[in-house]
């Protein structure tokens, strides 16, 4: 199979899969609160925003499922929107799509569908750069079908867009693209999910200390300092500008006592055990014992970066849902598959290396 044929097959598969998933939206429990956050952004009080969101649900989802969403709105804590307003870019996108005449519920899904398609494009581009066409096609299709990936297209959530940006940044770092756009995308990710602050700081440190001096990926000390200061300032500004209570996060249950934190840690590890990360850990040790990590400085540092992000996120936010970590999961699988299949599908095998297009 040539790279051109593999691209055509994957493009058809990606578009067909996205279309099929668009027919079965998840309508996750957060959906009505993101709609309410749009009304809050327009100046309504929280209770008024809940009421307006309820009207939207009654109009666009007159089913038993809609009744359940309305029940959540009617029984929501008055401060619940604090957990949603800190994702201003996603709220803005919903508002913008609705302004164009698109129904509210569909407006919450369009960013996810677009993000899913772009994640698929980056996934195949990455695979095509390190595998020959047929393995690149098969690996890309399977990785797009696993739960952390496929669920993204069905969510009314900022998580797909967040994963898209982080995955693209991993792509740029691994293939040693110029740092300017990478830094810009990392900073944008803060406006999608504020807890990306951990990933931004660690990846900025990775680009500061890992690449050889003069490498296009390596950021100067001044840029590194700017990223850290800007990220901290952004976190403060988002809390100050979009939240009625700057210290809203102190109301999270596991922050209020060591006992609650301990229980949350147990839940975290239960969720972790049911994810793909134990499999990734096993593959990682297999690659180490096989000796495949020797001379793979980029791979080792990127895996350490992912591990550091997961560790510090765990310390600060011991809450694990696999859809938050899709970018880490896909990057880990791609790195380890490259190592473990290297004798069979050597890097740079034509025509993958010669013909593969790469995102800018």
Residues 80-138: pLDDT tens digits? 888 898 899 999 999 999 999 999 999 999 999 999 999 999 999 999 999 999 999 99
Nearest to 160 by CA among 174, 150, 172: 150
Q: Tell me the CA distances in angstroms from 142 to 127, 161, 275, 279, one per residue in order.
A: 12, 21, 16, 15
Q: State both tokens at 332.
A: 């880990």
What whole-number distance in Å separates Cα of residue 356 and Cα of residue 347? 12
Which residues have CB under 8 Å from 113's CB, separation 6+?
18, 21, 22, 153
What whole-number distance in Å separates Cα of residue 172 and Cα of residue 204? 13
For residue 295, tell me if it sits in a domain. Answer: yes
- Model confidence pLDDT, tens digit, residues 5-38: 999 999 999 999 999 999 999 999 899 999 999 9
What whole-number distance in Å separates Cα of residue 114 and Cα of residue 164? 10
What whole-number distance in Å separates Cα of residue 301 and Cα of residue 307? 10
Give the H or E element holding residue 5.
helix 3-22
**DSSP one-letter string for 90-112:** HHHHHHHHHHTT--HHHHHHHHH
Before 305, cis peptide (omega within 30)? no
What whole-number distance in Å separates Cα of residue 332 and Cα of residue 159? 18
Please say whether the dihedral angle defined by the alpha carbons of residues 279, 281, 284 and 289, taken in this order, is positive or negative.
negative
Whether residue 140 has pLDDT greater than 70 = yes
- Model confidence pLDDT, tens digit, residues 72-91: 998 888 788 888 988 999 99
Q: Is 0.95 surpassed by the pTM of this model?
A: no
Nearest to 87 by CA among 203, 188, 202, 229: 188
Q: Tell me the CA distances in angstroms from 118 to 113, 162, 267, one per residue in order.
A: 9, 12, 32
Number of C-beta neighbours around residue 207 at 10 A: 25
Which residues have CB under 8 Å from 21's CB, separation 6+?
113, 116, 150, 153, 154
Q: State both tokens at 91.
A: 């709220």
Residue 220 is predicted with a pLDDT of: 92
Residue 331 is predicted with a pLDDT of: 96
Q: How confident is the model at residue 346 (pLDDT cuts 50, 70, 90)?
A: low
Whether residue 3 has pLDDT greater than 70 = yes
Q: Which residue has the tokens 């500004």?
A: 237
What whole-number distance in Å separates Cα of residue 183 and Cα of residue 204? 8
Residue 353 is predicted with a pLDDT of: 38
For residue 360, tell me if it sits in a domain. Answer: no
User: What sections of 146-220 are H helices per DSSP?
Assistant: 147-150, 159-174, 179-189, 197-209
| Domain that includes residue 265, residue range | 3-355
Higher pLDDT, 253 or 158: 158
What whole-number distance in Å separates Cα of residue 245 and Cα of residue 304? 36
Alpha carbons within 13 A on the beta-carbon side of 109: 18
- Model confidence pLDDT, tens digit, residues 305-319: 999 999 999 988 888
Alpha carbons within 13 A on the beta-carbon side of 281: 8
How many domains would you assign to the chain? 1
What whole-number distance in Å separates Cα of residue 353 and Cα of residue 345? 12
For residue 139, tell me if it sits in a domain. Answer: yes
Number of C-beta neighbours around residue 79 at 10 A: 13
Whether residue 357 has pLDDT greater than 50 = no
What whole-number distance in Å separates Cα of residue 72 and Cα of residue 87? 20
| Helix (H) and strand (E) counts in the chain | 18, 0
> 189, 164 in Cβ contact below 8 A?
no
- Map residue 190 onto helix, strand or coil: coil
- Model confidence pLDDT, tens digit, residues 250-287: 777 777 778 888 888 999 899 888 888 899 899 998 98
Average pLDDT, the chain: 89
């Amino acid at each position: 199979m040539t790279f051109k044929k593999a691209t055509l097959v994957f493009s058809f598969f990606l578009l067909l899969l996205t279309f099929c998933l668009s027919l079965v939206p998840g309508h996750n429990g957060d959906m009505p609160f993101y709609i309410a956050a749009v009304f809050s952004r327009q100046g309504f009080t929280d209770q008024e925003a809940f009421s307006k969101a309820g009207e939207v649900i009654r109009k666009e989802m007159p089913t038993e499922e809609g009744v359940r969403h309305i029940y959540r709105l009617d029984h929501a804590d008055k401060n619940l929107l604090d957990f949603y307003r800190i994702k201003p870019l996603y709220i803005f996108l919903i508002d913008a799509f609705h302004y164009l005449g698109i129904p509210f519920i569909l407006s919450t899904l369009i960013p996810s569908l677009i993000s899913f398609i772009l994640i698929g494009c980056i996934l195949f581009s990455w695979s095509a750069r390190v595998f020959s066409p047929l393995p690149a096609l098969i690996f890309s299709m399977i990785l797009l079908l696993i739960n952390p990936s496929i669920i993204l297209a069905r969510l009314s959530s900022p998580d797909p867009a967040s994963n898209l940006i982080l995955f693209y940044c991993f792509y740029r770092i691994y293939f040693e693209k110029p740092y300017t756009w990478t830094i810009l995308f990392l900073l944008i990710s803060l406006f999608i999910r504020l807890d990306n602050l951990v990933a931004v700081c660690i990846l900025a440190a990775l680009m500061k200390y890992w690449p050889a001096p003069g490498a296009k990926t390596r950021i100067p000390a001044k840029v590194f300092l700017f990223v850290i200061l800007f990220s901290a300032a952004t976190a403060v500004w988002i809390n100050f500008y979009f939240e009625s209570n700057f210290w809203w996060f102190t109301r999270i249950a596991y922050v209020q006592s060591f006992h609650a934190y301990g229980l949350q840690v147990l839940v975290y590890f239960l969720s972790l055990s049911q994810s793909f990360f134990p499999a990734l850990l096993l593959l990682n040790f297999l690659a180490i014992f096989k000796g495949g990590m020797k001379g793979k400085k980029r791979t080792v540092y990127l895996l350490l970066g992912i591990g550091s992000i997961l560790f510090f996120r765990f310390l600060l936010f011991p809450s694990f849902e696999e859809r938050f970590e899709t970018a880490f999961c896909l990057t880990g699988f791609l790195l380890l598959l490259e190592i473990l299949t290297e004798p069979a599908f050597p890097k740079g095998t034509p025509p993958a290396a010669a013909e593969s297009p790469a995102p800018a």
